[in-house]
Amino acid sequence: MSIADIIGYTAGAITSLTFLPQVIKTWKEKSAKDVSMLMFVIAALNEVLWIVYGILLNNWVIIATNAVVLSMSLCMIYLKLRYDRNNGN
Amino acid sequence: MSIADIIGYTAGAITSLTFLPQVIKTWKEKSAKDVSMLMFVIAALNEVLWIVYGILLNNWVIIATNAVVLSMSLCMIYLKLRYDRNNGN
């Protein structure tokens, strides 16, 4: 495995967890007023595109990475809907 | 260009703009209390990794896409620092 491979896999692994701190923060604070719904809707739709791309290329790294990001985006959409309604935003 | 290529380029283009709605929302509402700083710090550091990866592979699509996401992440870090201080968070 080359240095480029190692950097690529590391970056890919971190990318898949980028939304996690936001999910945890929103879950703990029960508020998502300042969080952009549009960002997570675009991200979720785009992850579906990435997963289709991964399927067409039969590339499981792309499929798995984007499935993780998709699940976190859907989590954030759910939390945003729930807390915005609870908080009357 | 195959269908897979078209889907891949489309997904890549959308990915580069994922953070834009958050930057615009935060800029307009001048509040980022509910936004996770850690998410954007991780994203920014990770974009640097991706750019290094793009340089090692001499792949300008990876370099350009991630340079856009890096600039938006840095924008969000700046806006978060600024508005959290202004709003006393």
Q: What is the pLDDT of residues A31-82, one digit of tens each?
A: 999 999 999 999 999 999 999 999 999 998 889 999 999 999 999 999 999 9
Cβ neighbours for B67, distance < 8 A, ≥ 6 positions apart: B47, B51
**A6 in reach of chain B (CB within 8 A):** no
Of the candidates A22, A42, A57, the beta carbon closest to that of B18 is on A42
Second CATH level (architecture) for the domain A3-86: Up-down Bundle (1.20)
Comparing CA positions, the residue from B46, B45, B24 lying closest to residue B35 is B24
Per-residue pLDDT tens, chain B, 89 aa: give them: 899 989 989 999 999 999 999 999 999 999 999 999 999 999 999 999 999 999 999 998 889 999 999 999 999 999 999 999 998 86
CB contact under 8 A, A42 and B14: yes
- Please tell me the pTM assigned to this model: 0.90
Q: Is the ipTM of this complex over 0.85?
A: yes
Q: Which of A44, A19, A40 is nearest to B22 (CA)?
A: A40
State the best of B2, B9, B22 to mutate against chain A, taking most chain A CBs within 10 Å.
Answer: B22
